[in-house]
Amino acid sequence: MTMLAPSFQWSEFVGMVAGAGTTFAGLPDLMRMLKQRTSSGIHPRIVAILLVSQFVWVYYGLLIGSRPVVVWNVIAIAINGLSVGAYLHFARTERTQAKAA
């Protein structure tokens, strides 16, 4: 079976379901940060470590030909990338406001 083969096996279905939980685990922090417009409560080093490991997981998924591993980690990279971007934006805004005060 290849990554682009149209067949979909039961093990891939289980992998897709299992991957959903870990992929969207960072979404609540991102949503809270966007809603409150603050960087507080976010640890950028942890998110950066997650990003690096997710890139490695994508590479691993490509090596073993696992669509669930690749798909969920690409989505997780997008979510955590947005979290890092939002953190940097709000942290810069907070520093600017602190200097002005």
7 part of a folded domain: no
9 part of a folded domain: no
Q: Which own/partner pairs from 28-31 qualify as long-range (CB within 8 Å, at least 24 positions apart)?
A: 29/83, 30/79, 30/82, 30/83, 30/86
| pTM given for the model | 0.78
60 part of a folded domain: yes
4 part of a folded domain: no
Query: In terms of residue numbers, what domain contains 51?
Result: 14-100
- Specify the number of domains making up the chain: 1
Q: Mean pLDDT across the stretch 29-37?
A: 91
2 part of a folded domain: no
Looking at residue 49, which CATH number applies to its domain?
Answer: 1.20.1280.290
Q: Mean pLDDT across the stretch 56-72?
A: 92
Q: Is pLDDT above 80 for 55?
A: yes
